[in-house]
C-alpha cells in the first residue's frame, strides 16, 4: 500500500520518497511558511482582509495559498492532568497539500496535467492544465482551487483570467536542485520538517510517544498510517485535537477507491437503458 | 455556525468553514448532463425505432439526438478555465478519470450521430448511416449514464454517497427526455413507443430519486433544501405534469404532445440542476463531510489518526 501510484514507472530515475512532517505542538503561528511559499513560488497576492477568526487571515488553502496556518482558541487545558497554564490553549497548525499516496486529484485529472514526480509528490503541470476543475471537488482536503486572478502576460488575449488549477508542488524545482522546500527552510521552530518519508514517520512516532509521556491533551498523528483511506499522506501531521477542529476531514478516502464498483454499476444502468428503450417497441413492429 | 470549542453531539468545525472545496463548475455542466443524456438516449431510441420499422420516429430521434450532441462540446468547452486547451482532454486515455472517458465517449458518439444524421439528411450512403447508427447506439447508453459516475467520483458527500443511484437516475432521466423530445417532432400516431419511454423514464427517475434520498438518511436532506430543494420540486412538477399530458391528450393531439414533451424536458433539466446544487450545498457545509466520515469511523474505525498507546 505504501508505494505511491505511478512512482515505479520512473525506473532508475526514481528518488527516495520525501515529504513533510508538520508538528503542530511547536508551531508558534509566525506564518513564515506562508510568506516563504508565496515568495519562492511567485504566488500572486489575492486580497488582504481580516477574517476575525483568531490570527487566521488567509482562511484556507487555495490556488493562491499553499501553506495556511490555522489558529484555534480553546477552553481546554494543554495537559491531561489539567495543568499547563490557564485552561485556555491556542492551537496553531500549518496546513499544506498532503501529497497522498493514492491521490484523487491525480486520478481524476482528464488531461494528465497532474502527475506523480520522481520524489513521490503530486504536481500540476501548468502548461497542460485546461482548468476543467475536476480535481477541485475530488480532493478530500479541499486543497486545489482554480485561480481566478488576471492572466499572466504569456496568456492569449481572450483569456479573462488565469483559469488554471494551482497547489503546493512541494517545491519541485527546489527538490530538483537538492534544496528543501521553502516553507521547511523558513520555519524557525522546526514545526515543518522535510525529509525522506520513512525517516519522518519514525521521528513522528518518537515525538508522539514523548508528548504522551508528558501528558499532552489530544496528541495524535494524522495521515501517518500507510493503510488509511488515501494510503498515507506524503505530508502528515501531529495534531493536538481531532482533525475537524483544524478544518481537516476525520477519515479522508480517495474517491477513486470506489471507481471500479461505480463503472460496473454504470454499465448495468447503461444496459438497462438500452433494454428499456427497446422494450417500448414490443408489439409495435409494423 | 458550529462552535470551534464545542464537544458533545454538535459537529465540530474550523469556524464553520467548508472542509472540501465546492465544485467550480458553472451552469454549462448540469446543462450538459441534460444534453448528453438526451443525445445518448435518443441514439438508442432512433435505432430501436428503425429496427421496429418506424422510420419517422427513427428520423426524429436521430435529429434531436444529433442536435443535443452538437451543443454539448461548446457547453463543456466554455466551462473550462482555459478553453483553448480543450483538446488536452484527448491527449491521454485514462480510465481512472470519468471526465477523460466521457470526452472519448462524447467524441465517438457525437461523430457517429452526426455522420448518421448527415447520411439521413442527404438520403444517401445508407450502409454508412447504418454503421454509424450502430456505433451511436452502443456509445449512447454510456454517454447518458457516465455523468452519474463523473459527479459521484468526487469527495462531495451528496454525490459520492449517492454513487449507487446516480447513473440509474441519470439514465432514466435521459430516457424520459429522449422520449419526450421525439414525441414533439412526430405525428402522435407514430410516437407511441417514444411516449412510453418518456412516461416510464419519468416514473423511474422519480422513484429512484426518492429511494436515493431515503437511503442517504440525513445527507438526503440537501436534495430537499435551498436551491436544490426548489429545483427538485420544479423537476417533479414539470416532469409529472408533462408525462401525464403526453400519456393522455398527447396520444391524439400534436399540440398536447409538444406541450407535454417540453414540460418533461424542462423537468429533467431541472433534475440535473437539482443534483448539481445538492452537491454544492453538501460541499459548502462541513457538517455533511464530518458526519458521514464520523459515521464510517464508528462503523469501521479509522487509520487516518494514530493515537498514543
A121-174 pLDDT tens trace? 999 999 999 999 999 999 999 999 999 876 666 666 666 688 999 999 999 999
Can you tell me the distance from the alpha carbon of A237 to that of A25, in angstroms, rounded to the nearest whole number? 10
B85 and A130: CB-CB below 8 Å?
yes
Average pLDDT for B14-23: 96
B92 touches chain A (CB under 8 A): yes
Max Cα distance, chain A (Å): 88
Q: How far is CA B232 from the centre of its chain?
A: 14
B96 touches chain A (CB under 8 A): yes
Q: Residue A144: closest CA among chain B residues belongs to which residue?
A: B21
CA distance B273 to chain A (A): 17
B18 and A142: CB-CB below 8 Å?
yes
Whether residue A1 is contained in a domain is answered as no
A251 and B304: CB-CB below 8 Å?
yes
Nearest alpha-carbon partner for A21 in A251, A176, A232, A224: A224
Q: Residue B49: closest CA among chain A residues belongs to which residue?
A: A281
Q: What is the pLDDT of residues B152-201, one digit of tens each?
A: 999 999 999 999 999 999 999 999 999 999 999 999 999 999 999 999 99
Which ipTM was obtained for this model? 0.94
Q: Residue B170: closest CA among chain A residues belongs to which residue?
A: A269
B12 and A72: CB-CB below 8 Å?
no
The least confident of A161-165, B61-65, B100-104 is A161-165
Can you tell me the distance from the alpha carbon of A58 to that of A46, in angstroms, rounded to the nearest whole number? 9
Q: How many structural domains compose chain A?
A: 1
Check whether B2 has a pLDDT greater than 60. Answer: no
* A213, HSE (Cβ side, Cα atoms, 13 Å): 6
Whether residue A268 is contained in a domain is answered as no
Residue A286: its pLDDT value, please? Answer: 46
A286 and B309: CB-CB below 8 Å?
no
Strand partners, A235: A20
Q: How confident is the model at residue A283 (pLDDT cuts 50, 70, 90)?
A: low
The three cell numbers locating residue A84: 499547563
B146 touches chain A (CB under 8 A): yes
The least confident of A48-52, B13-17, B106-110, B167-171 is A48-52
Residue A76: its pLDDT value, please? Answer: 87
The three cell numbers locating residue B69: 450532441
Mean residue pLDDT across chain B:
95
Option in A108, A113, A212 nearest B153 (CB): A108
Residue A156: its pLDDT value, please? Answer: 63
Question: What's the predicted TM-score (pTM) here?
Answer: 0.94
Whether residue A233 is contained in a domain is answered as yes
Check whether B31 has a pLDDT greater than 60. Answer: yes
Check whether A23 has a pLDDT greater than 80. Answer: yes
CA distance A278 to chain B (A): 6
Whether residue A239 is contained in a domain is answered as yes
Domains by residue range for chain B, with CATH? 28-290 (1.20.1630.10)
Q: Which of B105 and A150 is assigned the larger pLDDT?
A: B105
Q: Residue A267: closest CA among chain B residues belongs to which residue?
A: B142
Residue A4: its pLDDT value, please? Answer: 82
Check whether B14 has a pLDDT greater than 90. Answer: yes
Q: Which phi and psi angles does A72 have, rounded to 5°? A: -125, 125
What is the CATH classification number for the domain harbouring A247? Answer: 3.30.70.20
- Provide, as residue numbers in chain B, all residues whose Cβ is less than 8 Å from the Cβ of A280: 48, 179, 193-194, 196-197, 200
- Provide, as residue numbers in chain A, all residues whose Cβ is less than 8 Å from the Cβ of B91: 111-112, 128
Residue B40: its pLDDT value, please? Answer: 98
Q: How confident is the model at residue B79 (pLDDT cuts 50, 70, 90)?
A: very high
Structural domain of residue A36, as residue ranges? Answer: 7-254
CA distance B148 to chain A (A): 8
Give A170's contacts (C-beta < 8 A, 6+ positions apart). Answer: A18, A19, A20, A97, A99, A117, A119, A121, A123, A181, A234, A235
Residue B6: its pLDDT value, please? Answer: 41
Check whether A88 has a pLDDT greater than 80. Answer: yes
SS (H, E, C) B204-223: HHHHHHHHHHHHHHHHHHHH
Amino acid at each position: 500500500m505504501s508505494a505511491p501510484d505511478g512512482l515505479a514507472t520512473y525506473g532508475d530515475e526514481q528518488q527516495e520518497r520525501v515529504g513533510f512532517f508538520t508538528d503542530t505542538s511547536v508551531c508558534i503561528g509566525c506564518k513564515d511558511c506562508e510568506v516563504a511559499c508565496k515568495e519562492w513560488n511567485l504566488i500572486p497576492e489575492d486580497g488582504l482582509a481580516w477574517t476575525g477568526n483568531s490570527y487566521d487571515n488567509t482562511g484556507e488553502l487555495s490556488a493562491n495559498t499553499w501553506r495556511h496556518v490555522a489558529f484555534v482558541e480553546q477552553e481546554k487545558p494543554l495537559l491531561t492532568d489539567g495543568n499547563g497554564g490557564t485552561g485556555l490553549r491556542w492551537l496553531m497548525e500549518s496546513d499544506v497539500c498532503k501529497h497522498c499516496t493514492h491521490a484523487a486529484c491525480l486520478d481524476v485529472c482528464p488531461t494528465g496535467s497532474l502527475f506523480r514526480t520522481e520524489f513521490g509528490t503530486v504536481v500540476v503541470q501548468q502548461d497542460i492544465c485546461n482548468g476543467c476543475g475536476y480535481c477541485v471537488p475530488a480532493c478530500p482536503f479541499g486543497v486545489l482551487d482554480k485561480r481566478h486572478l488576471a492572466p499572466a502576460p504569456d496568456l492569449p488575449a481572450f483569456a479573462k483570467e488565469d483559469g488554471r488549477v494551482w497547489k503546493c508542488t512541494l517545491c519541485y524545482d527546489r527538490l530538483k536542485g537538492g534544496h528543501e522546500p521553502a516553507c521547511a527552510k523558513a520555519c524557525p521552530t522546526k514545526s515543518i520538517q522535510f525529509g525522506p518519508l520513512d525517516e519522518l514517520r519514525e521521528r513522528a512516532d518518537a515525538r508522539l510517544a514523548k508528548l504522551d509521556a508528558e501528558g499532552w491533551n489530544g496528541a495524535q498523528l494524522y495521515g501517518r498510517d500507510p493503510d488509511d483511506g488515501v494510503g498515507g499522506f506524503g505530508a502528515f501531521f501531529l495534531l493536538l485535537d481531532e482533525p475537524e477542529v483544524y478544518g481537516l476531514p476525520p477519515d479522508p478516502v480517495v474517491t477513486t477507491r470506489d471507481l471500479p464498483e461505480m463503472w460496473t454499476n454504470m454499465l448495468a444502468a447503461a444496459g438497462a437503458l438500452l433494454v428499456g428503450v427497446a422494450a417500448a417497441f414490443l408489439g409495435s413492429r409494423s | 455556525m458550529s462552535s470551534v470549542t464545542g464537544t458533545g453531539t454538535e459537529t465540530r468545525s474550523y469556524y464553520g468553514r467548508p472542509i472540501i472545496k465546492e465544485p467550480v463548475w458553472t451552469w454549462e455542466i448540469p446543462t450538459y448532463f441534460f444534453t448528453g443524456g438526451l443525445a445518448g438516449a435518443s441514439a438508442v431510441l432512433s435505432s430501436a425505432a428503425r429496427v421496429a420499422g418506424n422510420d419517422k420516429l427513427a428520423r426524429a430521434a436521430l435529429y434531436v439526438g444529433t442536435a443535443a450532441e452538437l451543443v454539448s462540446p461548446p457547453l463543456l468547452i466554455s466551462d473550462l478555465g482555459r478553453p483553448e486547451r480543450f483538446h488536452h482532454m484527448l491527449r491521454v486515455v485514462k480510465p481512472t478519470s470519468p471526465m477523460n472517458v466521457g470526452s472519448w465517449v462524447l467524441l465517438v458518439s457525437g461523430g457517429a450521430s452526426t455522420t448518421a444524421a448527415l447520411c439521413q439528411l442527404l438520403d444517401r450512403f445508407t450502409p454508412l448511416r447504418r454503421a454509424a447508427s450502430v456505433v451511436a447506439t452502443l456509445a449512447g447508453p454510456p454517454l447518458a449514464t457516465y455523468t452519474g459516475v463523473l459527479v459521484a467520483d468526487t469527495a462531495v458527500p451528496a454525490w459520492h454517497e449517492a454513487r449507487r443511484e446516480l447513473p440509474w437516475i441519470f439514465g432514466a432521466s435521459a430516457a424520459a427526455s429522449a422520449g419526450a423530445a421525439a414525441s414533439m417532432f412526430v405525428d402522435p400516431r407514430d410516437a407511441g413507443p417514444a411516449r412510453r419511454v418518456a412516461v416510464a423514464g419519468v416514473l423511474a427517475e422519480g422513484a429512484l430519486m426518492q429511494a436515493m434520498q431515503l437511503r442517504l438518511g440525513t445527507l438526503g436532506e440537501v436534495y430537499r433544501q435551498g436551491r436544490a430543494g426548489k429545483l427538485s420540486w420544479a423537476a417533479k412538477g414539470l416532469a409529472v405534469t408533462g408525462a401525464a399530458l403526453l400519456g393522455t391528450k398527447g396520444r391524439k393531439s400534436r399540440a398536447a404532445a409538444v406541450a407535454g414533451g417540453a414540460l418533461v424536458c424542462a423537468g429533467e433539466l431541472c433534475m440535473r440542476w437539482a443534483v448539481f446544487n445538492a452537491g454544492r450545498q453538501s460541499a459548502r457545509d462541513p457538517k455533511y463531510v464530518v458526519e458521514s466520515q464520523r459515521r464510517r469511523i464508528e462503523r469501521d474505525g479509522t487509520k487516518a489518526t494514530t493515537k498514543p498507546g
